[in-house]
């Protein structure tokens, strides 16, 4: 498979601020890539660099095999969907859709036909004569998408396109965007701060922090084998529990320190005896049983139920979050036993946070 987008050794400086640090990323044709990270991590800067709205300071940026470092946005043939949609307020939906075609000198009738076709696939046919201000949030979002689709660009760039929608519509549009991507055999780069969006939509997830790619890979690989503590805490909801621990003398066990509760548990691989580590365990990988029946016992502080699952917070330091499927058995103020499967434990170096 050929690479549609290729970044090698890309750096970006804003004066003294180093916004992107040695970014290497290859995006194969037809893949859906999500750039995810907390705000200020550089994901938007990276996307804007792809679009040509920012210039990169060092490195190479190739789109469809061509070097694009100093090519202006209009010649890159990429389409972008902005967070604010950036619909032209003084143009009707149809004019918004055909804007890029008209600039390229496509005949009026042909542009109109293209707009009608795209509008039919995105359910905008009855809105073509309206102005953006007369549309609802969801409709505006569709117009922004359609404006990108109509061009058949080399790549679609999405800059948090769903963050202005309400929760229900967001979930719906998630599926729709993914379906659209598959139907068009497009190459998409999708920026989001919402790891659920990244996990559910993308073929390839890139987790960024402070201008650095912390880890990239298939969504479930990131979930199963996070490369470091940051990725482990960022991917998955509710977030992974991190517990300070010390390796036992044989290097095959850990003593975890939960403040009031200290417990020795076996681990399934050898580490250096006496080493200080952080043990990570996902809330959904901890089981709840009767007191004394599990790996160890913890006092329960808070129980929150959503109906489909129950969040249990244990009164330990650090707090331990447990997710039980369905109606939970734990009650606030009581003590419960918890079971921990050693194969589900993630171990990170205490100082660097790197996975062991």
Partner 1 sequence: MSDTTRNRIMLVIAILMAAIYLFPLYWMYITALKGGSEMFATPPSFWPGDPQWGTFGYVWESRGMGRYLWNSLVIAVGAVTLITVLGVGCAYVLARYRNVWVDIGLFMILMLQVLPASLMVTPIFVGFSQLGMLDYPRLAVIIAIAAKSMPFFVVLVRATFMAVPMELEEAALVDGNSRVGAFFSIVLPLARNGILVSAILIFMQAFGEFVYSKSMIQAAELQPASVGLNSFMGPNTNEWNNIMAYATMYVTPILAIFVLLQRRIVSGLTSGALK
- List of residues contacting partner 1 (CB under 8 A): 51-53, 72-74, 76, 78-80, 82, 84, 86, 88-90, 99-100, 103-104, 133, 147, 151, 157
The CB-of-66 to partner 1 minimum distance in angstroms stands at 16
Measured from the CB atom, is 50 or 303 closer to partner 1? 50
Measured from the CB atom, is 75 or 126 closer to partner 1? 75
Measured from the CB atom, is 134 or 182 closer to partner 1? 134
The CB-of-132 to partner 1 minimum distance in angstroms stands at 10
Which run of H or E residues covers position 36?
strand 32-36
Contacts of 349 (CB under 8 A, 6+ apart): 277, 278, 355, 356
The CB-of-307 to partner 1 minimum distance in angstroms stands at 40
The CB-of-131 to partner 1 minimum distance in angstroms stands at 10
Which run of H or E residues covers position 257?
strand 253-258
DSSP H stretches of helix in the chain: 43-51, 93-103, 108-122, 137-149, 167-184, 195-201, 219-224, 229-234
The CB-of-246 to partner 1 minimum distance in angstroms stands at 51
The CB-of-169 to partner 1 minimum distance in angstroms stands at 21
Dihedral angle of Cα 235, 221, 283, 227, to the nearest 10 degrees: -70
Pick from 34, 35, 37, 61: which is nearest to 49 by CA? Answer: 61
How far apart, in whole angstroms, are the C-alpha atoms of residue 133 and residue 180? Answer: 25
In the block, which residue shows the tokens 């000198």?
A: 105
Measured from the CB atom, is 87 or 288 closer to partner 1? 87
Measured from the CB atom, is 3 or 100 closer to partner 1? 100
Measured from the CB atom, is 131 or 311 closer to partner 1? 131
Measured from the CB atom, is 43 or 346 closer to partner 1? 43
Pick from 242, 342, 341: which is nearest to 287 by CA? Answer: 341
Task: Please check whether residue 154 is in contact with residue 165, taking contact to mean a CB–CB distance below 8 angstroms.
Answer: no
How far apart, in whole angstroms, are the C-alpha atoms of residue 140 and residue 159? Answer: 15
Ramachandran region of residue 340, left (φ > 0), alpha (ψ -120 to 50) or beta? Answer: beta
Measured from the CB atom, is 85 or 234 closer to partner 1? 85
The CB-of-90 to partner 1 minimum distance in angstroms stands at 5
Q: How big is the CA angle at 304 (ends 299 and 308), to the nearest 5 degrees?
A: 120
The CB-of-117 to partner 1 minimum distance in angstroms stands at 18
């Amino acid at each position: 498979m050929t690479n549609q987008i290729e970044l090698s050794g890309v750096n970006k400086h804003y004066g003294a601020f180093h916004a992107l640090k040695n970014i290497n990323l290859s995006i194969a044709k037809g893949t859906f890539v999500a750039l995810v990270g907390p705000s200020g991590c550089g994901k938007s800067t990276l996307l804007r660099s792809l679009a040509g709205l920012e210039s990169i300071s060092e490195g190479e940026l190739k789109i469809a095999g061509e070097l694009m470092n100093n090519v202006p946005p209009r010649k890159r043939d990429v389409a972008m969907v902005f967070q604010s949609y950036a619909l032209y307020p003084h143009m009707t939906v149809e004019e918004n859709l055909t804007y890029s075609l008209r600039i390229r000198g496509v005949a009026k009738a042909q542009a109109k036909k293209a707009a009608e076709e795209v509008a039919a696939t995105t359910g905008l046919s009855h809105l073509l004569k309206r102005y953006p201000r007369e549309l609802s949030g969801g409709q505006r979002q569709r117009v922004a998408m359609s404006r990108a689709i109509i061009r058949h660009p080399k790549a679609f760039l999405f800059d948090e396109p769903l963050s202005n929608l309400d929760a229900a519509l967001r979930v719906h549009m998630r599926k729709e965007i993914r379906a659209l991507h598959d139907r068009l055999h497009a190459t998409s780069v999708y920026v989001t701060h919402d790891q659920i969006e990244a996990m559910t939509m993308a073929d390839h997830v890139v987790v960024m922090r402070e201008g650095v790619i912390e880890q990239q890979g298939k969504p479930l690989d990131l979930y199963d084998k996070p490369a470091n503590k940051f990725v482990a805490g960022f991917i998955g909801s509710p977030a992974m529990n991190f517990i300070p621990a010390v390796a036992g003398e044989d290097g095959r066990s850990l003593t975890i320190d939960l403040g009031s509760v200290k417990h020795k548990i076996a681990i399934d691989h050898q580490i250096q005896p006496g080493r200080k580590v952080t043990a990570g365990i996902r809330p959904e990988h901890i089981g709840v049983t009767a007191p004394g029946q599990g790996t160890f016992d913890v006092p329960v502080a808070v129980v929150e139920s959503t109906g489909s699952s129950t969040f249990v917070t244990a009164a330990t330091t650090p707090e331990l979050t447990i997710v039980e499927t369905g109606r939970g058995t734990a009650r606030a103020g009581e003590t419960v036993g918890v079971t921990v499967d050693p194969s589900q434990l993630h171990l990170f170096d205490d100082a660097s946070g790197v996975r062991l």
